[in-house]
Amino acid sequence: MFQQERLSAAARRQLLLYAALPLAYIIFGRLGLLLAVPPGYATAVFLPAGIAVAAMFIAGAATLPGTFAGSLLLNLWIGYSIAHRLDAAGWSIAFLIALSSTIQAAVGGAALRKLVGYPAAFDTPRDIVLFLLLSPIVCLVSASLSVAAMFAFGVIGPADLATNWMTWWVGDTLGVLTAVPLMLAIAGEPRSLRQSRLRFVAIPMILCFALFIGIFARVTRWEQDEALLEFRMQSQRVADLIRATLDEQALFLDQLASAFVTRTQPLTRQNFHDLVQKLLQRFPTIQAVEWAPRVSQAGRAAFEAAEQAELPGFAIRERGAAGELLPAGDRSEFFPVTYIEPLAGNLEALGFDLASNPQRRAAIESTRARATAAATAPIRLLQERASQWGLLLMQAVPDGSQRLRPRFDCAADGDVCSKSGRAACRDAAIAARGRGDGPAAVR
Protein backbone atom coordinates (compact mmCIF):
# COMPACT_ATOMS: atom_id res chain seq x y z
CA MET A 1 0.00 0.00 0.00
CA PHE A 2 2.78 2.39 0.93
CA GLN A 3 4.64 1.51 -2.26
CA GLN A 4 1.53 2.24 -4.36
CA GLU A 5 1.15 5.65 -2.71
CA ARG A 6 4.80 6.42 -3.52
CA LEU A 7 4.28 5.35 -7.13
CA SER A 8 1.13 7.45 -7.35
CA ALA A 9 2.96 10.52 -5.97
CA ALA A 10 5.82 9.96 -8.43
CA ALA A 11 3.34 9.67 -11.32
CA ARG A 12 1.66 12.93 -10.32
CA ARG A 13 5.08 14.57 -10.13
CA GLN A 14 6.00 13.36 -13.60
CA LEU A 15 2.66 14.59 -14.95
CA LEU A 16 3.30 17.98 -13.39
CA LEU A 17 6.81 18.22 -14.84
CA TYR A 18 6.19 16.98 -18.37
CA ALA A 19 2.57 17.96 -19.09
CA ALA A 20 1.22 20.63 -16.74
CA LEU A 21 4.36 22.80 -16.81
CA PRO A 22 4.60 23.16 -20.64
CA LEU A 23 0.83 23.61 -20.87
CA ALA A 24 0.83 26.35 -18.22
CA TYR A 25 3.82 27.99 -19.92
CA ILE A 26 2.00 28.13 -23.27
CA ILE A 27 -1.37 29.27 -21.89
CA PHE A 28 -0.09 32.03 -19.62
CA GLY A 29 2.55 33.03 -22.14
CA ARG A 30 0.01 33.48 -24.92
CA LEU A 31 -2.26 35.50 -22.62
CA GLY A 32 0.65 37.70 -21.56
CA LEU A 33 1.73 38.32 -25.15
CA LEU A 34 -1.62 39.95 -25.86
CA LEU A 35 0.10 42.96 -24.28
CA ALA A 36 3.27 42.53 -26.35
CA VAL A 37 5.16 45.26 -28.17
CA PRO A 38 6.16 44.76 -31.82
CA PRO A 39 7.24 42.39 -33.22
CA GLY A 40 5.31 40.41 -30.60
CA TYR A 41 7.83 38.46 -28.49
CA ALA A 42 8.30 40.90 -25.56
CA THR A 43 5.47 41.75 -23.17
CA ALA A 44 4.95 43.95 -20.12
CA VAL A 45 4.21 41.00 -17.79
CA PHE A 46 5.40 37.47 -18.63
CA LEU A 47 4.17 34.99 -16.00
CA PRO A 48 5.84 31.90 -17.57
CA ALA A 49 9.24 33.32 -16.59
CA GLY A 50 8.15 33.14 -12.94
CA ILE A 51 6.49 29.73 -13.41
CA ALA A 52 9.71 28.31 -14.83
CA VAL A 53 11.89 29.73 -12.03
CA ALA A 54 9.41 28.52 -9.38
CA ALA A 55 9.30 25.03 -10.94
CA MET A 56 13.10 24.83 -10.83
CA PHE A 57 13.10 26.13 -7.25
CA ILE A 58 10.47 23.60 -6.11
CA ALA A 59 11.28 20.47 -8.14
CA GLY A 60 14.83 20.97 -9.37
CA ALA A 61 16.51 20.40 -12.72
CA ALA A 62 13.93 17.79 -13.81
CA THR A 63 11.62 20.70 -14.71
CA LEU A 64 13.99 22.22 -17.26
CA PRO A 65 12.94 20.01 -20.23
CA GLY A 66 9.32 21.02 -19.58
CA THR A 67 10.31 24.69 -19.55
CA PHE A 68 12.23 24.28 -22.82
CA ALA A 69 9.34 22.45 -24.51
CA GLY A 70 6.77 25.01 -23.38
CA SER A 71 8.90 27.97 -24.47
CA LEU A 72 9.75 26.38 -27.83
CA LEU A 73 6.09 25.66 -28.68
CA LEU A 74 4.99 29.11 -27.51
CA ASN A 75 7.58 30.93 -29.62
CA LEU A 76 6.89 28.77 -32.66
CA TRP A 77 3.25 29.79 -32.28
CA ILE A 78 4.22 33.46 -32.01
CA GLY A 79 6.55 33.26 -35.00
CA TYR A 80 3.85 31.65 -37.13
CA SER A 81 1.31 34.29 -36.04
CA ILE A 82 3.68 37.07 -37.12
CA ALA A 83 4.94 35.69 -40.44
CA HIS A 84 2.15 33.17 -41.24
CA ARG A 85 4.85 30.61 -41.98
CA LEU A 86 7.70 28.82 -40.23
CA ASP A 87 11.05 28.96 -42.00
CA ALA A 88 14.55 28.17 -40.78
CA ALA A 89 14.89 31.61 -39.18
CA GLY A 90 11.60 31.17 -37.28
CA TRP A 91 12.68 27.78 -35.93
CA SER A 92 16.10 29.14 -34.97
CA ILE A 93 14.66 32.13 -33.11
CA ALA A 94 12.15 29.94 -31.25
CA PHE A 95 14.93 27.50 -30.30
CA LEU A 96 17.27 30.24 -29.04
CA ILE A 97 14.53 31.96 -27.02
CA ALA A 98 13.53 28.60 -25.49
CA LEU A 99 17.18 27.92 -24.64
CA SER A 100 17.53 31.39 -23.08
CA SER A 101 14.37 30.89 -21.01
CA THR A 102 15.59 27.48 -19.81
CA ILE A 103 18.99 28.89 -18.81
CA GLN A 104 17.26 31.72 -16.93
CA ALA A 105 15.00 29.26 -15.09
CA ALA A 106 18.02 27.10 -14.17
CA VAL A 107 20.02 30.09 -12.92
CA GLY A 108 17.09 31.61 -11.00
CA GLY A 109 15.96 28.38 -9.37
CA ALA A 110 19.49 27.33 -8.45
CA ALA A 111 20.27 30.78 -6.98
CA LEU A 112 17.14 30.71 -4.82
CA ARG A 113 17.89 27.16 -3.66
CA LYS A 114 21.43 28.16 -2.70
CA LEU A 115 20.76 31.55 -1.08
CA VAL A 116 17.30 31.00 0.40
CA GLY A 117 16.98 27.21 0.54
CA TYR A 118 14.02 24.96 -0.10
CA PRO A 119 11.52 24.53 1.41
CA ALA A 120 11.28 28.20 2.27
CA ALA A 121 8.56 30.02 4.15
CA PHE A 122 9.62 33.45 2.87
CA ASP A 123 8.59 34.86 6.22
CA THR A 124 11.83 36.64 7.13
CA PRO A 125 13.08 40.01 5.87
CA ARG A 126 16.28 38.33 4.62
CA ASP A 127 14.43 35.84 2.40
CA ILE A 128 12.13 38.49 1.00
CA VAL A 129 14.98 40.96 0.27
CA LEU A 130 17.04 38.25 -1.43
CA PHE A 131 14.08 37.26 -3.58
CA LEU A 132 13.39 40.89 -4.56
CA LEU A 133 17.06 41.50 -5.41
CA LEU A 134 17.64 38.25 -7.27
CA SER A 135 14.57 38.50 -9.52
CA PRO A 136 15.64 41.48 -11.70
CA ILE A 137 19.25 40.20 -11.82
CA VAL A 138 18.25 36.72 -12.99
CA CYS A 139 15.91 38.15 -15.62
CA LEU A 140 18.82 39.83 -17.37
CA VAL A 141 19.65 36.42 -18.84
CA SER A 142 16.66 35.81 -21.10
CA ALA A 143 16.22 39.46 -22.03
CA SER A 144 19.83 39.79 -23.19
CA LEU A 145 20.15 36.44 -24.98
CA SER A 146 16.71 36.45 -26.61
CA VAL A 147 16.80 40.03 -27.87
CA ALA A 148 20.33 39.47 -29.17
CA ALA A 149 19.08 36.43 -31.12
CA MET A 150 16.20 38.37 -32.65
CA PHE A 151 18.53 41.21 -33.59
CA ALA A 152 20.98 38.79 -35.20
CA PHE A 153 18.21 37.33 -37.36
CA GLY A 154 16.88 40.75 -38.34
CA VAL A 155 13.53 40.41 -36.55
CA ILE A 156 14.15 43.73 -34.78
CA GLY A 157 16.27 46.63 -35.95
CA PRO A 158 18.72 48.83 -34.05
CA ALA A 159 16.04 51.45 -33.38
CA ASP A 160 13.84 48.89 -31.56
CA LEU A 161 16.62 47.10 -29.70
CA ALA A 162 16.47 49.09 -26.46
CA THR A 163 12.67 49.12 -26.29
CA ASN A 164 12.39 45.36 -26.78
CA TRP A 165 15.17 44.61 -24.31
CA MET A 166 13.66 46.83 -21.64
CA THR A 167 10.16 45.45 -22.17
CA TRP A 168 11.46 41.87 -22.09
CA TRP A 169 13.45 42.44 -18.90
CA VAL A 170 10.64 44.25 -17.08
CA GLY A 171 8.09 41.66 -18.25
CA ASP A 172 10.19 38.73 -17.01
CA THR A 173 10.97 40.51 -13.72
CA LEU A 174 7.32 41.22 -12.99
CA GLY A 175 6.48 37.67 -14.03
CA VAL A 176 8.98 36.22 -11.54
CA LEU A 177 7.88 38.55 -8.73
CA THR A 178 4.26 37.58 -9.35
CA ALA A 179 4.37 33.90 -10.29
CA VAL A 180 6.94 32.54 -7.79
CA PRO A 181 4.83 33.42 -4.70
CA LEU A 182 1.73 32.07 -6.45
CA MET A 183 3.45 28.79 -7.33
CA LEU A 184 4.73 28.44 -3.75
CA ALA A 185 1.20 29.03 -2.47
CA ILE A 186 -0.19 26.36 -4.79
CA ALA A 187 2.50 23.67 -4.82
CA GLY A 188 5.29 24.71 -2.45
CA GLU A 189 6.51 23.30 0.82
CA PRO A 190 5.85 23.26 3.71
CA ARG A 191 2.28 22.15 3.16
CA SER A 192 1.19 23.63 6.47
CA LEU A 193 1.60 27.13 5.00
CA ARG A 194 -0.34 26.54 1.79
CA GLN A 195 -3.74 27.60 3.13
CA SER A 196 -2.46 30.81 4.68
CA ARG A 197 -0.44 31.55 1.54
CA LEU A 198 -3.49 31.07 -0.65
CA ARG A 199 -5.55 33.39 1.54
CA PHE A 200 -3.07 36.16 2.22
CA VAL A 201 -0.73 35.93 -0.78
CA ALA A 202 -2.26 34.19 -3.78
CA ILE A 203 -5.74 35.71 -3.82
CA PRO A 204 -4.61 39.35 -3.25
CA MET A 205 -1.88 38.97 -5.89
CA ILE A 206 -4.30 37.50 -8.43
CA LEU A 207 -6.75 40.35 -7.83
CA CYS A 208 -4.01 42.97 -8.11
CA PHE A 209 -2.65 41.34 -11.23
CA ALA A 210 -6.11 41.27 -12.82
CA LEU A 211 -6.56 44.94 -11.90
CA PHE A 212 -3.19 45.77 -13.42
CA ILE A 213 -4.08 43.96 -16.65
CA GLY A 214 -7.43 45.77 -16.81
CA ILE A 215 -5.77 49.17 -16.31
CA PHE A 216 -3.07 48.35 -18.85
CA ALA A 217 -5.66 47.25 -21.41
CA ARG A 218 -7.75 50.38 -20.84
CA VAL A 219 -4.76 52.71 -21.15
CA THR A 220 -3.63 50.87 -24.27
CA ARG A 221 -7.09 51.29 -25.80
CA TRP A 222 -7.01 55.04 -25.00
CA GLU A 223 -3.61 55.34 -26.63
CA GLN A 224 -4.83 53.42 -29.68
CA ASP A 225 -7.90 55.65 -29.95
CA GLU A 226 -5.76 58.78 -29.72
CA ALA A 227 -3.30 57.39 -32.27
CA LEU A 228 -6.19 56.48 -34.59
CA LEU A 229 -7.67 59.96 -34.28
CA GLU A 230 -4.28 61.52 -34.99
CA PHE A 231 -3.84 59.19 -37.96
CA ARG A 232 -7.23 60.16 -39.35
CA MET A 233 -6.45 63.86 -38.97
CA GLN A 234 -3.06 63.46 -40.64
CA SER A 235 -4.62 61.35 -43.41
CA GLN A 236 -7.26 64.01 -44.02
CA ARG A 237 -4.60 66.73 -44.22
CA VAL A 238 -2.56 64.65 -46.67
CA ALA A 239 -5.67 63.89 -48.73
CA ASP A 240 -6.62 67.58 -48.82
CA LEU A 241 -3.07 68.51 -49.87
CA ILE A 242 -3.05 65.89 -52.63
CA ARG A 243 -6.48 67.01 -53.84
CA ALA A 244 -5.42 70.67 -53.90
CA THR A 245 -2.21 69.78 -55.75
CA LEU A 246 -4.07 67.69 -58.33
CA ASP A 247 -6.65 70.46 -58.79
CA GLU A 248 -3.86 72.95 -59.43
CA GLN A 249 -2.17 70.59 -61.88
CA ALA A 250 -5.52 69.95 -63.59
CA LEU A 251 -5.96 73.71 -64.04
CA PHE A 252 -2.55 73.91 -65.68
CA LEU A 253 -3.44 70.99 -67.97
CA ASP A 254 -6.62 72.79 -68.94
CA GLN A 255 -4.59 75.88 -69.84
CA LEU A 256 -2.14 73.69 -71.76
CA ALA A 257 -5.04 72.13 -73.67
CA SER A 258 -6.31 75.61 -74.57
CA ALA A 259 -2.85 76.44 -75.96
CA PHE A 260 -3.15 73.52 -78.36
CA VAL A 261 -6.53 74.71 -79.65
CA THR A 262 -5.79 78.43 -79.96
CA ARG A 263 -2.46 78.11 -81.77
CA THR A 264 -2.48 78.93 -85.49
CA GLN A 265 0.66 76.85 -86.10
CA PRO A 266 1.42 73.26 -85.15
CA LEU A 267 3.02 72.88 -81.71
CA THR A 268 6.69 71.93 -81.95
CA ARG A 269 8.76 70.11 -79.38
CA GLN A 270 10.42 73.38 -78.39
CA ASN A 271 7.02 75.04 -77.98
CA PHE A 272 5.91 72.18 -75.74
CA HIS A 273 9.13 72.39 -73.75
CA ASP A 274 8.60 76.11 -73.12
CA LEU A 275 4.94 75.66 -72.15
CA VAL A 276 5.47 73.03 -69.45
CA GLN A 277 8.55 74.47 -67.72
CA LYS A 278 6.49 76.45 -65.20
CA LEU A 279 4.56 73.34 -64.22
CA LEU A 280 7.73 71.30 -63.73
CA GLN A 281 9.33 74.06 -61.67
CA ARG A 282 6.26 74.54 -59.49
CA PHE A 283 5.70 70.83 -58.88
CA PRO A 284 9.06 69.03 -58.54
CA THR A 285 7.23 65.77 -57.73
CA ILE A 286 5.94 65.59 -61.32
CA GLN A 287 8.03 63.09 -63.23
CA ALA A 288 6.88 64.05 -66.72
CA VAL A 289 4.37 66.05 -68.76
CA GLU A 290 3.18 64.33 -71.95
CA TRP A 291 1.22 64.97 -75.13
CA ALA A 292 -0.41 61.92 -76.69
CA PRO A 293 -2.45 62.66 -79.86
CA ARG A 294 -5.12 60.32 -81.15
CA VAL A 295 -3.83 58.33 -84.13
CA SER A 296 -6.10 56.17 -86.26
CA GLN A 297 -5.09 52.78 -87.58
CA ALA A 298 -5.15 54.18 -91.13
CA GLY A 299 -2.81 57.01 -90.21
CA ARG A 300 -0.39 55.02 -88.07
CA ALA A 301 2.29 54.49 -90.74
CA ALA A 302 2.42 58.17 -91.72
CA PHE A 303 2.50 59.27 -88.09
CA GLU A 304 5.40 56.95 -87.24
CA ALA A 305 7.29 58.03 -90.38
CA ALA A 306 6.92 61.70 -89.48
CA GLU A 307 8.17 61.13 -85.93
CA GLN A 308 11.10 59.01 -87.13
CA ALA A 309 12.35 62.02 -89.10
CA GLU A 310 13.19 63.63 -85.74
CA LEU A 311 13.49 60.55 -83.54
CA PRO A 312 14.91 57.58 -85.44
CA GLY A 313 13.40 54.31 -84.24
CA PHE A 314 10.19 55.93 -83.01
CA ALA A 315 7.25 53.50 -83.06
CA ILE A 316 3.87 53.10 -81.39
CA ARG A 317 4.48 50.44 -78.75
CA GLU A 318 2.80 48.50 -75.98
CA ARG A 319 3.90 46.20 -73.19
CA GLY A 320 4.21 42.48 -73.91
CA ALA A 321 3.26 39.68 -71.56
CA ALA A 322 6.74 39.68 -69.99
CA GLY A 323 6.77 43.48 -69.58
CA GLU A 324 8.93 44.18 -72.62
CA LEU A 325 7.99 46.92 -75.11
CA LEU A 326 6.73 45.63 -78.48
CA PRO A 327 5.16 47.24 -81.55
CA ALA A 328 1.49 47.89 -80.74
CA GLY A 329 -1.03 45.52 -82.28
CA ASP A 330 -3.77 46.64 -84.67
CA ARG A 331 -6.73 48.54 -83.23
CA SER A 332 -8.95 51.40 -84.30
CA GLU A 333 -7.01 54.18 -82.51
CA PHE A 334 -3.84 54.80 -80.57
CA PHE A 335 -2.71 57.43 -78.07
CA PRO A 336 1.10 57.30 -78.31
CA VAL A 337 3.23 59.52 -76.08
CA THR A 338 4.69 61.94 -78.62
CA TYR A 339 6.01 64.90 -76.64
CA ILE A 340 7.38 64.42 -73.12
CA GLU A 341 9.20 66.78 -70.77
CA PRO A 342 11.72 66.47 -69.33
CA LEU A 343 13.13 64.12 -71.91
CA ALA A 344 15.98 62.91 -69.70
CA GLY A 345 14.89 59.83 -67.76
CA ASN A 346 11.63 59.50 -69.68
CA LEU A 347 12.78 58.37 -73.12
CA GLU A 348 11.36 54.89 -72.60
CA ALA A 349 7.83 56.30 -72.48
CA LEU A 350 8.09 57.85 -75.97
CA GLY A 351 5.78 56.06 -78.39
CA PHE A 352 3.99 54.09 -75.65
CA ASP A 353 0.30 53.75 -76.48
CA LEU A 354 -1.62 54.90 -73.42
CA ALA A 355 -4.72 53.12 -74.73
CA SER A 356 -2.94 49.76 -74.57
CA ASN A 357 -3.23 49.70 -70.77
CA PRO A 358 -6.73 49.26 -69.22
CA GLN A 359 -6.18 51.76 -66.39
CA ARG A 360 -4.77 54.42 -68.67
CA ARG A 361 -7.46 53.71 -71.27
CA ALA A 362 -10.18 54.19 -68.64
CA ALA A 363 -8.74 57.59 -67.69
CA ILE A 364 -8.62 58.61 -71.37
CA GLU A 365 -12.24 57.62 -71.91
CA SER A 366 -13.27 59.44 -68.75
CA THR A 367 -11.59 62.74 -69.64
CA ARG A 368 -12.90 62.59 -73.23
CA ALA A 369 -16.44 61.92 -72.04
CA ARG A 370 -16.55 64.56 -69.30
CA ALA A 371 -14.10 67.13 -70.72
CA THR A 372 -12.47 67.39 -67.29
CA ALA A 373 -9.23 66.04 -65.90
CA ALA A 374 -9.19 62.37 -64.92
CA ALA A 375 -6.62 60.43 -62.92
CA THR A 376 -5.66 56.79 -63.13
CA ALA A 377 -5.56 54.46 -60.17
CA PRO A 378 -2.05 53.98 -58.72
CA ILE A 379 0.12 52.42 -61.43
CA ARG A 380 3.74 51.58 -62.11
CA LEU A 381 5.01 54.18 -64.56
CA LEU A 382 6.67 52.85 -67.68
CA GLN A 383 10.02 54.49 -66.92
CA GLU A 384 9.97 53.62 -63.19
CA ARG A 385 12.88 51.39 -62.18
CA ALA A 386 12.23 51.19 -58.43
CA SER A 387 9.14 49.95 -56.60
CA GLN A 388 7.52 53.40 -56.42
CA TRP A 389 3.95 53.83 -57.63
CA GLY A 390 2.52 56.85 -59.41
CA LEU A 391 -0.54 58.07 -61.26
CA LEU A 392 -1.40 59.82 -64.50
CA LEU A 393 -3.55 62.94 -64.54
CA MET A 394 -5.05 63.41 -68.00
CA GLN A 395 -6.89 66.25 -69.72
CA ALA A 396 -8.60 65.80 -73.09
CA VAL A 397 -7.68 68.39 -75.72
CA PRO A 398 -10.73 69.29 -77.85
CA ASP A 399 -10.33 69.32 -81.62
CA GLY A 400 -10.73 73.05 -82.17
CA SER A 401 -9.07 73.49 -85.57
CA GLN A 402 -10.20 71.75 -88.76
CA ARG A 403 -7.11 73.12 -90.51
CA LEU A 404 -4.88 71.09 -88.22
CA ARG A 405 -6.87 67.87 -88.58
CA PRO A 406 -4.49 65.38 -90.24
CA ARG A 407 -5.35 63.25 -93.20
CA PHE A 408 -3.46 60.05 -92.42
CA ASP A 409 -5.49 57.99 -94.87
CA CYS A 410 -3.42 59.20 -97.86
CA ALA A 411 -0.38 57.43 -96.46
CA ALA A 412 -2.12 54.29 -95.30
CA ASP A 413 -0.08 52.09 -97.59
CA GLY A 414 2.95 54.29 -98.07
CA ASP A 415 3.69 52.96 -101.52
CA VAL A 416 0.70 54.33 -103.40
CA CYS A 417 1.57 57.99 -102.91
CA SER A 418 3.79 59.98 -105.15
CA LYS A 419 6.86 61.63 -103.78
CA SER A 420 4.98 64.88 -103.40
CA GLY A 421 2.07 62.97 -101.94
CA ARG A 422 4.29 61.47 -99.28
CA ALA A 423 5.58 64.91 -98.41
CA ALA A 424 2.03 66.17 -98.06
CA CYS A 425 1.18 63.25 -95.80
CA ARG A 426 4.26 63.94 -93.69
CA ASP A 427 3.16 67.56 -93.30
CA ALA A 428 -0.25 66.33 -92.20
CA ALA A 429 1.36 64.01 -89.64
CA ILE A 430 3.46 66.87 -88.26
CA ALA A 431 0.32 68.97 -88.01
CA ALA A 432 -1.18 66.21 -85.88
CA ARG A 433 1.18 67.15 -83.09
CA GLY A 434 -0.75 70.36 -82.65
CA ARG A 435 -4.25 69.09 -83.22
CA GLY A 436 -6.80 68.31 -80.56
CA ASP A 437 -8.72 65.19 -79.60
CA GLY A 438 -5.92 63.63 -77.56
CA PRO A 439 -4.87 63.80 -73.91
CA ALA A 440 -2.20 65.88 -72.27
CA ALA A 441 -0.99 64.17 -69.15
CA VAL A 442 1.20 64.60 -66.08
CA ARG A 443 2.70 61.63 -64.30
**Average pLDDT of the residues of the chain:** 76
Q: Whole-angstrom Cα distance, residue 318 to residue 316?
A: 7
Provide, rounded to the nearest whole percent, the portion of the chain with pLDDT above 90: 10
What is the tens place of the pLDDT at every residue in 378-404?
Answer: 777 766 656 667 777 788 887 643 322
Is the pLDDT at 2 greater than 70? The verdict is: no
* Predicted local confidence at residue 35, as pLDDT: 66
pLDDT exceeds cutoff 90 at 269: no
Supply the pLDDT for residue 138.
Answer: 93
190-237: per-residue pLDDT in tens?
666 666 666 656 666 667 667 766 776 777 778 778 878 888 888 888
For 345, phi then psi, to 5°, come to 85, -5
402 versus 6: the higher-pLDDT residue is 6
- pLDDT digit string, tens, across residues 419-435: 333 333 333 333 344 34
Q: pLDDT class for 53, splitting at 50, 70, 90?
A: very high
In this prediction, residue 405 carries a pLDDT of: 29
- What average pLDDT does range 164-177 have in this prediction? 88
Q: Report the pLDDT value the prediction gives residue 68, as an integer from 0 to 100.
A: 93
pLDDT band at 268 (very low <50, low <70, confident <90, very high): confident
Lowest-confidence region among 56-60, 203-207, 274-278, 382-386: 382-386
pTM of this prediction?
0.51
